[in-house]
Amino acid sequence: MADAQPFDMRDGVIWYDGAFVPWADAKVHVLTHALHYASAVFEGERAYGGVIFKMREHNQRLIESARLLDFEIPYSVEEIDRACEETLARQGFSDAYIRPIAWRGSEMMGVSAQHNRIHLAIAVWQWPSYFDPAQRLKGIRLDLAQWRRPDPLTAPSKAKATGLYMICTMSKHAAERKGYADALMLDWRGQVAECTGANIFFVKDGVIHTPTPDCFLDGITRRTVIGLARARGIEVVERAIRPEELSGFEQCFICGTAAEVTPVAEIADWRFTVGDITSTLMNDYMAAVQPSAPKAVAAA
């Protein structure tokens, strides 16, 4: 969703290479390798009640994503965890979005950049809802994207790498211009893959069906939702799904750290209802992310 306040002009601090700097001073040079060659990885995390949900899993994935892009983040997962918590506290938020990002710097400019310094920054801001709240309750509308998720032999699909989101931005812009909230992306084989920033699920005859994540990110929220469904005795089938099958599904929802669990009412010409399984998992997920004892947040 659009925000009236530019992201480079906000208040507070950003954790940057081990120190807190004023928000507006967290900058990189125009010849930073990551800007030209997408040599960067990131995470999206959410805090509820002052506690970052599944923080360790997110930050472990950040480190693994960097390794897949052939660089090592110069901080341990424990140090990144602590930095995320300290940044959340400094910003003074209880419910917030946390964005760690690691990238190659500006020492070398060209495809080859083995000697570039690896940087890490962590920013925290308030991001209440990824989709319009009123639209979300009745189910969002999805377009069918022109662009497809690539063959994993052409890109590191298990990494949360910035370059992999180029076609997501293009697909979401095209969908929004047509009045949709987001877009469903197929993979290079023409099978259902994911949305531009969220995994997707379908429901038929009380069974949940979701694409096998063999060329896109196996989301942490995705795995959480599968666990919640199975805890309720709901069968979850991970398999290849063809677009022509969509007319036979009754319900559809997407999930991700930003999207949480969001019902889908339409995908192009296909229609779905916001049924009991979708509603139950929406509620179960929001219950699961709440800390058992809210953590006090004090601005430093």
pLDDT in tens, 173-220: 999 999 999 999 999 999 999 999 999 999 999 999 999 999 999 999
Q: Structure tokens of 33?
A: 């390798």
> Which residues are part of the catalytic machinery?
160
Q: How confident is the model at residue 3 (pLDDT cuts 50, 70, 90)?
A: low
Report DSSP state, residue 18.
T
Q: What is the pLDDT of residue 39?
A: 98
By CB neighbour count within 10 A (0-12 exposed, 13-18 middle, 19+ buried), where does 154 fall?
Answer: exposed
Question: Dmax over Cα atoms in the chain, in whole Å?
Answer: 57
How does residue 296 score in pLDDT terms, banded at 50, 70 and 90?
Answer: very low
Mean pLDDT for the chain? 94
pLDDT at residue 298 tops 50: no
26: pLDDT strictly greater than 60: yes
* Upper half-sphere CA count for residue 27 (Cβ side, 13 Å): 7
88 or 136, which is more confident? 88
pLDDT for residue 133 = 67
User: pLDDT tier at 297 (50, 70, 90 boundaries)?
Assistant: very low
**Cβ neighbourhood burial of 94 (10 Å; 0-12, 13-18, 19+):** middle
What is the total residue count of the chain?
Answer: 300
pLDDT over 70 for what percent of the chain?
A: 95
Model confidence at 2: pLDDT above 50: no
Angle at 238 between CA 172 and CA 58, to 5 degrees: 60
Comparing 73 with 137, which gets the higher pLDDT? 73
For residue range 215-270, list pLDDT tens digits in order.
Answer: 999 999 999 999 999 999 999 999 999 999 999 999 999 999 999 999 999 999 99
Structure confidence at residue 1 (pLDDT): 45
Q: Tell me what the mean pLDDT of segment 51-64 comes to.
A: 98
- The residue type found at 146 is Q
What is the model's pLDDT at position 143? 98
Across 159-182, b (16+ Cβ under 10 Å) vs e yields bbbbbbbebbeebbeebeeeebbb
pLDDT tens string 116-135 = 999 999 999 998 777 766 67
Looking at residue 288, its pLDDT comes to: 97
**How are beta strands 182-186 and 140-144 bridged, if at all?**
parallel
In this predicted structure, the answer to whether residue 300 has a pLDDT above a threshold of 60 is no
